[in-house]
Structure 1
Amino acid sequence: MELDVKSKQKALLFHKRPTNYQPNVFTESKQEFTELEKNIVTLVINQIGHMSLKGEIKPNVNLVFHIPFAELTKKNHSVIADAALTLQSKRLIYRNDKTEQLDAITPFPRVKFDTLDGKKIIEVTMFADVVPHFSELGKRYTKYECDIMLSLSSVYAKRMFDIVSMYQCRGQFQFNYQVEHLMEMLNCPEGYTFNDFRRNALLVAQRQLLEKANIVLEWMPAKKIGKNIVELDFIIKTQLQIASEGVKQDQQTVNNMSINEAYTTAWQLMKGYKLKGFQKDRILSDHSLLDTFFRIDSELANGVRQNVKNPTAYLVKSLGIDQLKDPKPKTKSEAKTAPSTLSLFPQGPTLRSGSVKSIGAIFGDMIMNE
């Protein structure tokens, strides 16, 4: 197929955006790319996705992209050059099992090297009839952070990041695949056993997604034929979701405590902050503040609240006691009679052992009495 120079459209000067957008049909295709080839494709998608969002793609026009070597590596340009040359022969394969249709395309028929403004670039040409496979986003599409994709060193991790991102964009955190179909999408070698797939693809992807993207990916057998696992269920959890689950579990624990247990636990937790005595008194004397104290402490401990430089200052401000003044007694006689939670419980607060009412029940009573 000859390249019609007149139909060629130059892409705008390369400008890497933080977010990539790609069609879901591309995400679920079989891709034959290596790690470095996938990085080049990622940068092409970085450009074409934003062109599509802005309506800058003209129909029936070939596209040309300029990818700087510097975006792929700071050294060893020969490795990038080799990857760019092999990219020219790699295919995308779309299979529809219901209609038994198969479509295999070579998206980048022309790849050459050039120098632009004194910098080495890869010039990648995409024919017009291939452009929709990369640009037609539709109502649902895959969105992910470009730098995270580039940071992943395994092509299997990159492809699983593609797939996980697609489901996250849908608001789905559980999904299912037949093992054979998933292995085909990830372009696993022929003859791969499930153990090969698990060791070289799933475990590697799981580790890298956690390290680079803060995504926890879990899986479990969904279907077996004899001893063979033929279908997998996947669960996606972000670090924030895990942290939020930890807060919920802590809250359930607090709700099931007796008053005595709650006060004693709070007393121990307060040792982790630089609170003043009258501030501790105030928290322990107000059930609503005590509940808020438990929640904020749990959020800090589980990592829901990040980048908090001064936990004590953050805590007292969140509790609304940052402006609270020390109610110091005016006379010595007043000091002897002034009640204090700290003076009542010098070793930590203790209440009557017969009290078994939970904190959750106390709050329920407070709401009922309002």
Structure 2
Amino acid sequence: MEKAPENQLSLFNRHTTNYQSNIFTLSRQEFTELEKKIVILVVNQLGNLAVQGKLQPNRNQAFLIPYSELTKDHYAQVSAAAETLSKKQIAYKDEKKGEYLFITPFPMIRSVMQNNRRYIEIDVYANVVPYFADLGQRYTKYELDIIWSLSSVYAIRIFEIVSMHQHIKKTRFTFPVDEMLYILNCPSSYRYADFQVNVLEVAKRELRNKAQLIFEWSPFKKIGKKVVELEFQLKPVQQLAAENVEDDEKRIAQLSASERVILGYQVMAQYQLKPWQKDYIITEPGLLDTLFRLHSEFENQRRPEVKNKNKYLAKSLGLDKLKEPRKSTAIVTHEPQISFVPPVVDKRIKGDRPIGQIINSMIPQQDK
């Protein structure tokens, strides 16, 4: 009779990066948010052992996951998640090859007390380990802190799929809708509209706010009116911000001299500048260009480190080195009136507006 493999017990060591097989990334997973967090920590341990070459073949792996990594004081919730996790499946299908795989990956889970700390001990059997940690030439890689910050299990799963493509520097990819619905374990009642609102839109908001990633999609293939395949595009928030600033520069370059003056006063109204400082900026084309560029960068969050925009702007424009002219020699202020602009649209300033919106309001729309 063949001897059962021994357990290799690993003490918990939180790593900054997770590594997991693409089979696991593309598997259908039944986990709740808290169950998925436990699994993420197991993957954190398994994947880094694989990267370090410390996984011994044909040996079960046992991991101690501290309760404190999952909660401060809601231990009952963690215990309940551990109980249900032991019954959950992952499933992988490859329709083209006609292959399928169904696994209950964590059949043995128990609580352990060591040095007055409570742990979940999770066994991963030797024949299951490769489906998590067989990295091969292509695998999924992501930062633990980012995925840990996501609250929706749909956002977590989509982030894994996105990370799989990012790892091979693929910022545009397609995915069949039915396959994604299956992988994400969406309710069978979901229509395409439900999928967009409850899954894609939720993931989009979380990835932008917490992963600094723009996640967009559009129909790629239809059968009749039914969308059967989507194309996804990924952009870091910083890249989108840079593109927006560049777009603003191109729009400003198309303005006439009088339109630049009007725009300059509209932008300066959003900062604490004195009338003589505004007139000084307007009379210096180089300073006006700097004003437009800095304002666009502020609006597009390209300078998040700047806490006091008024002070930064004044220093960048050299205003901090200037003295206010005497009243007898002061330049008379002639701020353009908004009524100088064609009256098709109300041009009055209504709170802070991105520079692109201001420019658009100044340029008459072409008849379509």
TM-score band by shorter chain is 0.7 to 0.9
**Residue equivalent to 1:363:** none
**Residue 266 of structure 2 is aligned to residue 268 of structure 1:** yes
**Residue 206 of structure 2 is aligned to residue 218 of structure 1:** no
TM-score normalized by the length of structure 1 = 0.77
**Residue equivalent to 1:346:** 334
In the TM superposition, 1:180-219 aligns within 5 A as 180-190=178-188, 192-219=190-217
Report the count of equivalent residues.
339
In the alignment, residue 8 of structure 2 is paired with which amino acid? Answer: Q
**Residue equivalent to 1:11:** 10
- CA-CA distance at 1:172 after TM superposition: 3.3
**Corresponding residue SS for 1:90:** coil
Cα distance change, pair 115–322 in 1 and its aligned pair in 2 (3 A): farther
Identity of aligned residues (%): 43
**Residue 129 of structure 2 is aligned to residue 143 of structure 1:** no
Q: Give distance in 2, aligned partners of 1:103 and 1:10.
A: 26
Residue from 87, 101, 117 that aligns with 1:89? 87
TM-score normalized by the length of structure 2 = 0.78
**Residue equivalent to 2:19:** 21
Q: Give distance in 2, aligned partners of 1:172 and 1:299.
A: 27
**Corresponding residue SS for 1:33:** coil
**Corresponding residue SS for 1:49:** helix
- CA-CA distance at 1:109 after TM superposition: 3.3
**Residue 299 of structure 2 is aligned to residue 301 of structure 1:** yes
**Residue equivalent to 2:250:** 252
**Corresponding residue SS for 2:15:** coil
Q: Deviations over 1:293-343 (max 9, x none)?
A: 211111012222114111133224445x377444969xx9xx75xxx7xx1
- CA-CA distance at 1:245 after TM superposition: 3.4
**Corresponding residue SS for 2:106:** coil
In the TM superposition, 1:285-364 aligns within 5 A as 285-319=283-317, 321=318, 324-326=321-323, 343=331, 345-347=333-335
Q: Deviations over 1:225-244 (max 9, x none)?
A: 23322122223344434433
Q: Give distance in 1, aligned partners of 2:275 and 2:189.
A: 69
In the alignment, residue 9 of structure 1 is paired with which amino acid? Answer: Q
**Structure 1 contact 278–326 (Cα < 8 Å) conserved:** no
Cα distance change, pair 56–326 in 1 and its aligned pair in 2 (3 A): farther
- CA-CA distance at 1:2 after TM superposition: 9.3
In the alignment, residue 95 of structure 2 is paired with which amino acid? Answer: D
**Corresponding residue SS for 2:65:** strand
Q: Give distance in 2, aligned partners of 1:209 and 1:249.
A: 24
**Structure 1 contact 64–126 (Cα < 8 Å) conserved:** yes
**Residue equivalent to 2:68:** 70
In the TM superposition, 1:119-198 aligns within 5 A as 119-190=117-188, 192-198=190-196
Q: Give distance in 2, aligned partners of 1:312 and 1:276.
A: 12
Cα distance change, pair 139–259 in 1 and its aligned pair in 2 (3 A): farther
**Structure 2 contact 27–90 (Cα < 8 Å) conserved:** yes
In the alignment, residue 334 of structure 2 is paired with which amino acid? Answer: P
**Corresponding residue SS for 2:178:** helix
**Structure 1 contact 69–121 (Cα < 8 Å) conserved:** yes
Cα distance change, pair 327–39 in 1 and its aligned pair in 2 (3 A): closer
**Structure 2 contact 7–59 (Cα < 8 Å) conserved:** yes
In the alignment, residue 69 of structure 1 is paired with which amino acid? Answer: Y
* Structure 1 gaps, min length 5: 354-370
- CA-CA distance at 1:60 after TM superposition: 3.2
Q: Give distance in 2, aligned partners of 1:171 and 1:273.
A: 41
- CA-CA distance at 1:41 after TM superposition: 0.5
- CA-CA distance at 1:257 after TM superposition: 0.7
